[in-house]
A and B are shown apart, each in its own frame.
Chain A
């Protein structure tokens, strides 16, 4: 399975073009994703009635139905269903209209090219893969707003590939945010959790990244590895609280470290020195993606908010 897509994504492939269907099937086989494959719209809609899929990849130009009608029927059956459309390159304009209207997440031009296919599907899988509580395979299929969920785990238990925000899938599917925004939110969230883990609980200092030993390993990575085996650091907790309503998404992350001066509140993005040296980049990313970022006085709790338009 490819790195960054931690567990199988369940996909429904619907394509009348045998070659592109075969190519999609081969891709999913290779990546270890489970999928069903059909060749017409009737079978697609029947399959959707039957079970829930994480992603539908469908031919936009099936002979038995107009693309717009097909997408309408898919959304009628599964309102928050993420869909990627496949069509000849000449139909890019029409496909882009679907993307802009929120009916589809992305467009794969035919003929399908391996690299692009992988990039698009991997990107989407990242955004929709849900591993809310870190237990592999557990999925949340129903979301309702207002939504609230809490997570708690030790430094030792943290695995970036498992801890995704399942609410993002719902927000994309319900057109509250676009795919690109979801990716950025996921990135800001990952940066905040990484800060809590590495600088908070493990008390790692960014400058250590610049100290490289003879075998090319930096001091930061080396000490990180050691502290993940030391219960004084590794058993500290990270607590995450996610709340979402019609107007905003709010993520609150707390670590058990000693805290740090919250001067990090407003990164000086005009200072190239901060960019060149190894500090503040995660914070800059968080500030740029979220509408509000604030730290508690002791620097152990960060709260980030994104407002929906």
Chain B
């Protein structure tokens, strides 16, 4: 199964991640999925991390790179409602203040 599925809904691009974001490989996969949508002109991109159980500073670094690339072009990186450990980590690092929730 593709662990980084992308889809487009209107103006938004969605990346559904179904593996943990805790390694160089997973970060690279996120970067590629992000680039795919970014290169198609999407400037509002939503991350669905519902199936992610573990995220570490490496994974968060990649999320922030996505955030910065979009912000540089007046775009927005959003996240689907978070839960569990990922939610706690986002709150801890105040990513919840940076990344709006896509309800």
Chain A residues in contact with chain B, CB under 8 A? 3-4, 115, 119, 122-123, 126, 160, 180, 183-184, 187, 190-191, 194, 209-210, 216, 221, 269-270, 272, 275-276, 278, 281-282, 284-285, 288
Question: 5 A-B residue contacts at CB 8 Å?
Answer: A123-B54, A183-B53, A187-B22, A209-B65, A285-B89
Complex CA distance for A272 and B93, rounded to whole angstroms? 8
Check A4/B23 contact, CB under 8 A, given A209-B61, A216-B31: yes
What 1/0 mask marks residues of chain B from 7 to 43 whose CB sits below 8 Å from any chain A CB?
0000000000011101111100001000100000000
The secondary structure that dominates the A interface is helix
Q: Is the pair A275, B64 in contact by a Cβ cutoff of 8 Å?
A: yes
Shortest Cβ distance from A184 into B: residue: B85
Q: Is the pair A275, B56 in contact by a Cβ cutoff of 8 Å?
A: no
Q: Is the pair A276, B98 in contact by a Cβ cutoff of 8 Å?
A: yes
- B5 contacts chain A at the CB level, 8 A cutoff: no
Q: Is the pair B57, A282 in contact by a Cβ cutoff of 8 Å?
A: yes
Chain B residues with CB under 8 Å of A126's CB are: 54
Chain A residues with CB under 8 Å of B65's CB are: 209-210
Q: Is the pair A119, B57 in contact by a Cβ cutoff of 8 Å?
A: no
- B60 contacts chain A at the CB level, 8 A cutoff: yes
Chain A residues with CB under 8 Å of B24's CB are: 221
Shortest Cβ distance from B58 into A: residue: A194
Interchain Cβ contacts within 8 Å, total number: 70
Chain A nearest CB, measured from B102 CB (Å) = 20
Q: Is the pair B23, A281 in contact by a Cβ cutoff of 8 Å?
A: no
Given A115-B18, A126-B54, A284-B92, 11 further pairs, Cβ under 8 A: A3-B19, A4-B20, A115-B51, A187-B54, A187-B56, A210-B65, A210-B68, A216-B31, A275-B95, A282-B56, A285-B89
Chain B nearest CB, measured from A250 CB (Å) = 22
What 1/0 mask marks residues of chain B from 72 to 103 whose CB sits below 8 Å from any chain A CB?
00000000000001000100111101100000
Shortest Cβ distance from A180 into B: residue: B85
Q: Is the pair A183, B85 in contact by a Cβ cutoff of 8 Å?
A: yes
Chain B residues with CB under 8 Å of A278's CB are: 61, 64
Chain A nearest CB, measured from B68 CB (Å) = 7
Chain A nearest CB, measured from B35 CB (Å) = 7
Q: Is the pair A183, B54 in contact by a Cβ cutoff of 8 Å?
A: yes
Interface centre among A126, A269, A275 (most CB of B within 10 A): A275
